């Protein structure tokens, strides 16, 4: 199986490496939908071939569009095949995203004198203190972060170790049961199962450019929101907030005493913008976003205090980033530059799709980043 961190080294580098295949498919199996993106390589350019999303609620008895569901491997495989069929994707050159919520991401500080050949013994032993489950229940992958004096990483490490030269090792611990499930799904669909990647690295690839300052990525998913601080392409901190787009829909449904489907419609139609027709919808939405913003600010303050660096930019992504009025409301809580992810700007697409792709882009950040990974290998 391809290393789940293999794409990290090139996440912010050029789009194309030595890939022999001219097509690449990114598959994001989320908690409420499956997103797929197919790219083609032509004359050194990445071209958008097709993309699409399929709601998973319809595969659960009594489920609804936009609803978070838990499906077994057989049902997930069927839904994935349906998604590929609807988008007319036939390539088997795929990369599948592993949910960040199934992983623990942290940085080990180890003496620089340790030979990298000994890391397979050292990293598991040192990682136990960060992993709340038995070490045999996870698969470990790691990446030695290059020292960059200009980034402040090297000087920071030396300072924190009392002057001893240290090296930083980014470690990802992934639950084995998650890897087994996703491998099983791919086998049932007949797709290659040798390329998996933790979704946060796909976000980095599709969302960031070459920012020279720390960036906070706020990924508002259906069930949870992920907060990731990234500097020079390296994950510095990762936090989960147990609130997502579905919580907003459910809050609207309860407050207005309407069905889930109607609440989902109101959420998309009005968002955070007050409307004479339904003035309370925006207030309900704001209450939900307050928790996310407070947690984000807590992480920002902790990071800035520890490293004496300011977060230069905050990028919203995920389905929740498409909420109307988000940037205007967020500007009341954050002082950094704010932006909505525009992943499709990384590839070429028909001009007439520009508006649609910019609007729906945040929802496809992971799938697009996964497809781009294939062109970097």
Asked if 39 and 344 touch (Cβ cutoff 8 Å), the reply is no
In a domain, 276, yes or no: no
Whether residue 269 lies inside any domain: the answer is no
Please write the tens of the pLDDT for every residue from 62-71.
778 778 899 9
**Total domains, the chain:** 1
Mean pLDDT of 28-38: 95
Summarised one tens digit per residue, pLDDT across range 203-234 is 999 999 888 899 999 999 999 999 999 998 88
Domain annotation covers residue 272: no
257 domain-assigned? no
The CATH number given to whatever domain includes residue 198 is 3.30.420.380
Whether 275 maps to a domain, the answer reads: no
pLDDT over threshold 60, residue 158: no
**Domain range for 215:** 8-250+281-376
pTM (2 d.p.): 0.88
pLDDT number for residue 194:
63
User: Does 141 map to a domain?
Assistant: yes
pLDDT at 152 over 80: no
- Greater model confidence, 151 or 130: 130
Q: Residue 13 — pLDDT band, cuts 50, 70, 90?
A: very low
In a domain, 267, yes or no: no
Residue 262, domain member (yes or no): no
What percent of the chain has a predicted confidence (pLDDT) above 70? Answer: 89
H-type alpha helices, the chain: 73-86, 119-127, 153-160, 176-189, 199-207, 245-256, 260-270, 279-307, 326-330, 354-360, 365-376
pLDDT tens readout for residues 290-322: 999 999 999 999 999 998 999 999 999 999 999
């Amino acid at each position: 199986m391809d290393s789940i961190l293999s794409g990290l080294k090139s996440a912010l580098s050029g789009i194309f490496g030595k890939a022999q295949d001219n097509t690449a498919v990114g598959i994001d199996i989320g908690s409420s939908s499956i997103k797929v993106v197919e790219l083609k390589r032509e004359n050194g350019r990445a071209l958008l071939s097709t993309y699409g999303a399929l709601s998973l609620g319809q595969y659960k008895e009594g489920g609804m569009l936009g609803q978070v569901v838990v499906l077994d491997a057989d049902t997930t495989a069927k839904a994935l095949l349906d998604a590929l069929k609807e988008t007319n994707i036939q390539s088997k050159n795929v990369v599948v995203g592993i949910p960040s919520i199934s992983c623990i991401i942290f940085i080990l500080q180890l003496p620089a004198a340790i030979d990298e050949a000994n890391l397979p013994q050292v990293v598991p032993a040192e990682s136990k203190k960060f992993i709340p489950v038995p070490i045999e229940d996870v698969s470990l992958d790691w990446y030695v972060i290059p020292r960059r004096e200009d980034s402040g990483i090297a000087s920071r490490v030396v300072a924190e170790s009392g002057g001893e030269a240290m090296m930083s090792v980014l470690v990802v611990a992934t639950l084995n049961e998650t890897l087994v499930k996703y491998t099983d799904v791919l086998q049932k669909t007949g797709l290659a199962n040798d390329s998996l990647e933790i979704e946060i690295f796909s976000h980095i690839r599709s969302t960031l450019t070459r920012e020279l300052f720390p960036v906070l990525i706020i990924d508002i998913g259906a069930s949870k929101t992920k907060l990731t601080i990234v500097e020079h392409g390296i994950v510095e901190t990762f936090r989960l907030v147990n609130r997502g787009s579905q919580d907003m829909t459910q809050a609207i449904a309860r407050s207005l005493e309407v069905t889930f489907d109607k609440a989902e419609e109101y959420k998309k139609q009005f968002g955070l913008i007050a409307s004479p027709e339904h003035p309370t919808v925006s207030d309900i939405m704001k209450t939900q976003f307050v928790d996310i913003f407070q947690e984000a600010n807590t992480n920002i303050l902790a990071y800035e205090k520890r490293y004496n660096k300011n977060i230069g930019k905050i990028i919203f992504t995920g389905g929740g980033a498409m909420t109307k009025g988000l940037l205007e409301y967020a500007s009341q809580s954050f002082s950094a530059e704010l932006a909505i992810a525009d992943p499709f700007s990384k590839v070429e697409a028909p001009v007439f799709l520009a508006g649609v792709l910019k609007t729906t882009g945040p929802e496809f950040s992971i799938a697009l980043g996964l497809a781009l990974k294939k062109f970097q290998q």
